[in-house]
Amino acid sequence: MRPILTAITLTALITFGITGNSQELIEYPSLLGSWEGPLVIGQDNMNLAFTFALRDGKYTAALISGGLGIYGMPADTVSVDGLNVIIRIPRLDLEFTGTLRLDDAGEIVRIDGDWFQYSEMVPVVLWPVDSPTF
């Protein structure tokens, strides 16, 4: 019985990475700052921007869109997992999901995303800007 227990324990240790071998941690570039792009809904073409900051070690985001009449609405949740980002603002029935696109130097050059609101999905590309357009 002991060899089976040892094999099971060893398999679990390898599977869950508890063998003492160090695993390389991947660091991704920072999202801090403002990211802006066009949001085209029907015939309306307006600017959309998210400004990212850090609070207590976690990302926060504020939505800015003069076309929507929104000037700094905080997101309820901002989730960053590797190169993927999800921003949720339930009071607007809004979710933005994006993928960070990196250049050869590993810097973020744009965020390719989708704007989901009221069961409508609109593709959006956000570019870094010094400050959002109001």
* Domain locations along the chain: 33-129
Interatomic CA distance for residues 34 and 77, integer angstroms: 17
The answer to whether residues 84 and 58 touch, using CB atoms and an 8 Å cutoff, is no
Distance CA 132, CA 128 (A): 9
pLDDT value of position 27: 66
Q: What is the pLDDT along the chain (134 residues), one digit of tens a residue?
A: 444 433 333 333 333 344 444 445 456 678 999 999 999 887 778 899 999 999 999 999 999 998 889 999 999 999 999 999 999 999 999 999 999 999 999 999 999 999 999 989 999 999 999 999 87
33-129 carries CATH number 2.40.128? yes
Quote the tokens at residue 128: 């870094």
Edge to edge, what strands does the sheet with 44-55 contain?
Answer: 70-74, 58-65, 44-55, 33-41, 120-129, 108-117, 94-102, 84-89, 77-81
Please classify residue 73 by burial: count the beta carbons closer than 10 Å to its beta carbon, then call 0-12 exposed, 13-18 middle and 19+ buried.
Answer: middle
